[in-house]
Amino acid sequence: MHSSLSLSFSQATAAAIPRPNFAVDSLVFAQSKPLNLRFCGLRREAFGFSPLTKSSSLRVCLPARGQARGKISASVADNGTAPKSFDYDLIIIGAGVGGHGAALHAVEKGLKTAIIEGDVVGGTCVNRGCVPSKALLAVSGKMRELQSEHHMKALGLQVSAAGYDRQGVADHANNLASKIRSNLTNSMKALGVDILTGVGTILGPQKVKYGKVGLPDKIVTAKDIIIATGSVPFVPKGIEVDGKTVITSDHALKLEFVPDWIAIVGSGYIGLEFSDVYTALGSEVTFIEALDQLMPGFDPEIGKLAQRVLINPRKIDYHTGVFASKITPARDGKPVTIELIDAKTKEHKDTLEVDAALIATGRAPFTNGLGLENINVVTQRGFVPVDERMRVIDANGNLVSHLYCIGDANGKMMLAHAASAQGISVVEQVTGRDHVLNHLSIPAACFTHPEISMVGLTEPQAREKAEMEGFEVSVAKTSFKANTKALAENEGEGLAKLIYRPDNGEILGVHIFGLHAADLIHEASNAIALGTRIQDIKFAVHAHPTLSEVLDELFKSAKVQAHASTPVSEPVAV
């Protein structure tokens, strides 16, 4: 699942979220040389590929921080050997995508590693987020295609009325989550990662306790500790969630029923994806958005096009500039009622009566009960404060030695693959190689039909930056209607947009709306990560006919100054 901190919630600030008796982990998913193949941040082992064998060994030569180059040796069979004064080299609290990525990379680096999990392996992404939602979206995509008589006729196909089995669809999502969860667990066990079951709490520097309710706690120590406890759905005050007719994304993924009319509070990633699912399955949808336009987090031009394709032709209406100040579940034969107030004046605007309401107002960090008070760390709106290297900062502004926080819990970028990248970055640091992750190179995607993807800055953000720093911004665009593969699929609706500096060819942002946009964005994100200039990437060769040629044409259409000599700026941590 993706971050979608839309402002469609009551005007009151969020109450402190109590930490229940289980850990929820970060969102947003090996051969002898493991490949970083990821789905929503997941390593390739999640899909059943063979990890390192027990008999294989791993030797890594790295310079220790502040020390001369030394040798770290580890046999995967015994998961390394921790220093005598610690139980482990690394303990990770939370076995979501971020924790999983960090654990596997730590073993590769020869660290004796343990991961603490109080709920189930996989965290939000695998169990209540990206993975099951993609299963539902796969169904909605098929349904939408089969239901489009015009589309099928254009391909010369004749299909009778398409239908679906709700329980079968729900089982598909549940089975996928179970498979990925099992594969993640098995991959860590095969690599020798110790999975410690229980709720993790920091007792002090380099010391953690964990345990289950009713059982004695156990205490373990580690040279370094990573917090990776993720997030939970954010429910504003005034909204009563019953899990049946007023639900969060956690409940919606179970697909226990398909309402005739559902209100979705928030039009970010989560809300958009569920609108795609519900309308494909026959529901009418009403969006409730606090800001003056839908999809506020997207590049404005892409958002307008997406609204024309994803909202206007479908059974969707919307209210913008309003808060859902109170939502009452259906009971005693009465429908769900939603009180709407003006976002600015707070005056009553309307009352809606619907069959169900989905609260998609973003996610809140899951950090209560971590024992942060024991190390003098104060959260900021629930987020653990960190620096650009994910090192935790205490209440006095000082770094807490050997303690890091990754993923949704630090709030830098609430995406599963961002959490995994942060975890890998931390492991690089604790094994002696300084590493700063460039968050502007991390892509994001919304898996609607068609998809939306993006990396870097939006056009307004880029122009604001240009005005502050004194450089020019140019924009290039290409249409899917000129792409052979898209036209062969009868899917020519789409746009790719490049925002760049004409003086030196630096890529500032890329935004795509169209067929397989989520897959296409990675050429742009990798270019940003590697600092590749447009004048260089123009020489890349793309197979024909493929959708990748949309990006090929996009980069070739950019007008970079003939004698651009200004070097591209180094990646900046944000």
pLDDT greater than 60 at residue 571: no
Q: What is the mean pLDDT of residues 499-521?
A: 98
Q: Which pLDDT belongs to residue 120?
A: 85
More confident residue, 63 or 108: 108
Consult the annotation and say whether 289 binds a ligand: yes
Helix (H) or strand (E) holding 207: strand 207-211
Q: Which pLDDT belongs to residue 412?
A: 97
Q: Strand pairing partners for 248?
A: 359
What percentage of the chain carries pLDDT values higher than 70? 83
Confidence tier at 230 by pLDDT (50, 70, 90): very high
- What is the C-alpha separation between 124 and 318, in angstroms, rounded? 28
Consult the annotation and say whether 253 binds a ligand: no
Q: What is the mean pLDDT of residues 74-99?
A: 74
Residue ranges with strand state E in 487-548: 495-500, 507-514
Q: Which pLDDT belongs to residue 41?
A: 42
Q: Which pLDDT belongs to residue 567?
A: 52
Which pair of tokens denotes residue 426? Answer: 């931390």
Nearest to 281 by CA among 140, 380, 379, 392: 140
Q: Which pLDDT belongs to residue 525?
A: 98
Consult the annotation and say whether 408 binds a ligand: yes
Consult the annotation and say whether 52 binds a ligand: no
- Across all residues in the chain, what is the average pLDDT? 86
To the query of whether residue 544 is one of the catalytic residues in this protein, the response is yes
Given the residues 435, 511, 544, 563, the one annotated as active site = 544
Which positions ≥6 away from 467 have C-beta within 8 Å? none
Consult the annotation and say whether 416 binds a ligand: yes
DSSP SS3 for 498: strand
More confident residue, 77 or 314: 314
Q: Strand pairing partners for 495?
A: 479, 513
Asked if residues 524 and 532 have their Cβ atoms less than 8 Å apart, the reply is no
More confident residue, 526 or 1: 526
Parallel, antiparallel, or unpaired for β 218-227 and 88-93?
Answer: parallel
| Phi, psi at 323, each rounded to 5° | -100, 145
Which pair of tokens denotes residue 117? Answer: 């999990």
Q: Which pLDDT belongs to residue 68?
A: 33
Confidence tier at 165 by pLDDT (50, 70, 90): very high
Supply angle C-alpha 133, 135, 140, rounded to 5.
Answer: 90
DSSP state, residue 272? H
* Residues 253-307: tens digit of each pLDDT: 999 999 999 999 999 999 999 999 999 999 999 999 999 999 999 999 999 999 9
Q: Which pLDDT belongs to residue 159?
A: 86
What angle separates helix 97-108 from helix 166-191, to the nearest 10 degrees? 30
Q: Which pLDDT belongs to residue 150?
A: 86
